[in-house]
Structure 1
Amino acid sequence: MEAMPSYSSFTSEFKVRPDDIDMFNHVHNSTYFDYVLAARYEQMETCYKMPMEDFLKMGLGWVVRSAFVDYKRPLGLGDTFTVETGIETINSKGCRVKFEIRISKTGKVACEGWFDYVMINIANGKSVKVSEEMILKYSI
């Protein structure tokens, strides 16, 4: 049996802002998606050295096909937290990015999960193959 490749994970740090808070006085569930996307955007540039702008110049974009989030405990106003992300799998059809959001003060997991991304041609919205060069660039 062939072993699954192992990919690097990277961490970004953020702080909960007032506009992230919902009527229950904690971060709204949909905002966690924004945190993961912000971390990926930053990490694409700083860690993979292939920022989203490079894809856009080629007329390509990454879109979410499906996502899963397992919420463990809430984040509150002023909390600092880390978002650790890493590619779990990548191939010519897209990639799965796993993530974990951890509360800095306690070290406990706020939520974890994954996103499945597909690459599209922005002009027509149809999926396109991920090139070998892109796979190599993101396989660190």
Structure 2
Amino acid sequence: MKDAVPPPEDAPLPEAQGVYSKFETELQVRPDDIDMYQHVHSSRYMDYVLAARFDQMERCYRMPMAEFQRRGYGWFMAATQMNFKRPLGLGDRVIVRTWIERFTLIGVKVQFQIERAADKKLSCDGWFDYVMVSMETARAVRLPEDIRAKYAI
């Protein structure tokens, strides 16, 4: 009998997907977010998601980024997909909604939506693949079980 081949490190873990909590953070479009076309520059949408995740790590998951750093871990973005639907303008307030879609052995896939608060219209959606890394080596490490458990809500 052949030995079982371990799954790739980025393979989804065998558990239900799409059952994790969704969290929201409200942000305001700032003057420096605006590009020459008088709407939010595409790169700022990534900043909005990262700011929301930073807020939600502390407020919702009760494990802020400082705790990861204290333990010698960080999160690297491995891949992203962003789908732009409607522009945002100066002064708009936005709701950034994020949730974990799935865990892998070394990270998570996070889905997001950004909507204009005033009319609830979707402006952008997509996903980020994050990989947990050792801050000492900058190499991927397995996601510790206690961290996965804290984020699997």
Tell me the TM-score normalised to structure 2 length. 0.88
Alpha-carbon separation, structure 1, partners of 2:16 and 2:68 = 30
Alpha-carbon contact 1:91-1:135 (below 8 Å) kept: no
Alpha-carbon contact 1:10-1:84 (below 8 Å) kept: yes
2:145 aligned residue: 132
Identical aligned residues as a percent: 49
RMSD: 1.1
Q: CA shift at 1:3, angstroms?
A: 4.5
Q: Deviations over 1:113-135 (max 9, x none)?
A: 00000000111110001011111
Give the alignment of 1:6-45 within 5 angstroms: 6-45=19-58
Alpha-carbon contact 2:85-2:122 (below 8 Å) kept: yes
1:72 aligned residue: 85
Alpha-carbon contact 2:29-2:90 (below 8 Å) kept: yes
Alpha-carbon separation, structure 1, partners of 2:19 and 2:119 = 28
1:99 aligned residue: 112
Alpha-carbon separation, structure 2, partners of 1:17 and 1:50 = 28
How many residues are treated as equivalent by the alignment? 139
For the pair shown, the structure with the greater C-alpha radius of gyration is: 2
Alpha-carbon separation, structure 1, partners of 2:106 and 2:134 = 13
Tell me the TM-score normalised to structure 1 length. 0.96
Alpha-carbon separation, structure 1, partners of 2:18 and 2:121 = 27
1:30 match: secondary structure: helix
Alpha-carbon separation, structure 2, partners of 1:3 and 1:136 = 14
Alpha-carbon contact 1:9-1:86 (below 8 Å) kept: yes
Alpha-carbon separation, structure 2, partners of 1:91 and 1:113 = 18
Alpha-carbon contact 1:18-1:77 (below 8 Å) kept: yes
Alpha-carbon contact 1:92-1:132 (below 8 Å) kept: no
In structure 2, stretches of 5+ residues that fail to align are: 1-14
2:119 match: secondary structure: coil
2:51 match: secondary structure: helix
Q: Deviations over 1:53-94 (max 9, x none)?
A: 000001110110000000000100000010000000013221
Alpha-carbon contact 2:18-2:100 (below 8 Å) kept: no
In structure 1, stretches of 5+ residues that fail to align are: none
2:96 aligned residue: 83
Matched, 1:112 2:129: no
